[in-house]
Amino acid sequence: MSPPQAPAPLLFFNARLIDPASGCEMRGGVVTRDGIIAEVGETVREGDAPEGARAIDCAGDVVAPGLIDMQAFVGEPGAEHRETIASATLAAAAGGVTTLVSTSATLPPVDDPAVVDFVLRRARDTGRVRVLPMAALTKGCEGKEIAELGLLQQAGAIAFCDGARSVKNALVMRRALTYARDFDALVVHFAEDPDLGSGVMNEGEFAHRLGLSGVPREAEAIMLDRDMRLVALTGARYHAALVTTTLSLDALRKAKDEGLVVTCGTSINHLTLNENDIGDYRTFLKLKPPLRHEDERKALVGALSEGLIDVIVSDHDPQDVETKRLPFSEADSGAIGVETMLAAGLRLVHSGDVALMRLLAAMTSRPAEILGLPQGRLQKGAPADLVRFDPDAPFVVDPDALHSRSKNTPFDGAVLQGVVKATVVAGAVAYET
């Protein structure tokens, strides 16, 4: 079997180049060759196309590193009716995402090297963008017995998590962190006390008016406080998957000030929506953790702007009609988001709350640093994973036009700005309008 041909060279010129890794922004161009960035900068112009290259006039559009989404459910194995790797990666490419980190809570869970291999093979055969699987932290994602982290890492697992489940037992969590430390593996944990977190929306006045059971902020903060102490005890690398409250931000600030190797993410939904958006029991906005009060949302935006929050994730969680067209208390949690993550994030830029450089850093260079990836940089020699987008172009979110198999978008009918015009993965065009 002959090896696959390298993609033809590409030249993007007349572009607004943004490299969050270095903090540089300039007008110029990018040349890709053999899957890497061959040239980039102000001196790259229309006439610099190498032989056989395709030249693309960006007309002032932004060209930046492709986005890295650290939390997405890709459906396989076991939930192909909700999503497949093919559909998830097409949606990712349409949203400018070039690397998807898939969650482990599939059917069966990614707790065996054979399942890691399956995900990698399916991504190679059917995916449009890079897919890096997270493996289970505990067997079956049940929180009772730690998984074979070393073998899973050798098979290709990029990090370890139990999906949207917390490891309730502190001794099991301590052992998992100790084991992960010995392999220099990253533990990604969903911090929520499962007993306190048994409600269906944020606890408060609005939940009372809707007659729905609430999840207090303390459900997240108590588990995160415990985890910070265990990280101090073990010296492991720890990433809080989703932080949504000021209580959690306080705990993380203290941990970082003390020198612990901790990072955190939050979802684009929690940065741009609040509990009031649930309105008249809109189940597409039933999330886990739930959307919080507007004051909490503003605090998250401030923490993102200052760099306390490291990364933004889509928390892409497709659900089918049967699990969403139900009374709010009975519907499953989750929303799709990989295709709209960038455009929704640009709301924060257009409002003046977050600089474009900072927003892109939280979606590119910072997740690359945390995961130890060579992507996320618009620099010579880096992988040619790129996104071209117009940050000002408006569009209306039409669920039927989205590429995910499921249509449970919280932005149904919303007017967003930020149209992705091209996505390049390893020098090959994965999506183009």
- CA torsion sign for 399, 363, 186, 290 is negative
Count Cβ atoms below 10 Å from residue 140 Cβ, excluding itself. Answer: 14
Count Cβ atoms below 10 Å from residue 417 Cβ, excluding itself. Answer: 16
For 56-77, give one letter per residue: b (16+ CB within 10 A) or e: bebeebbbbbbbbbbbbbbbbb
Measured between alpha carbons, how far is residue 228 from residues 212, 234, 291 in Å?
31, 10, 24
**DSSP, res 335:** B
Active-site residues, by number, are 315
**Is the N-terminal amide bond of 20 cis, ω within 30° of 0?**
no
Phi, psi of 389 (to 5 degrees): -150, 155
Count Cβ atoms below 10 Å from residue 390 Cβ, excluding itself. Answer: 17
User: Taking Cα atoms as reference points, which of 336, 349, 352, 302 lies closest to residue 410?
Assistant: 336
Measured between alpha carbons, how far is residue 281 from residues 193, 207, 276 in Å?
24, 10, 10
Cα distance between residue 30 and residue 17, in whole Å: 8
Cα distance between residue 128 and residue 233, in whole Å: 41
**DSSP, res 35:** T
**Contact of 270 with 261, CB cutoff 8 Å:** no
Q: HSE (CB half, 13 Å, CA atoms) of 345?
A: 30
Cα distance between residue 331 and residue 310, in whole Å: 31
Cα distance between residue 104 and residue 115, in whole Å: 10
Helices (H), 201-284: 205-210, 217-234, 246-257, 268-272
Contacts of 58 (CB under 8 A, 6+ apart): 12, 13, 14, 15, 16, 29, 388
**Residues linked to residue 237 through DSSP beta bridges, in sequence order:** 186
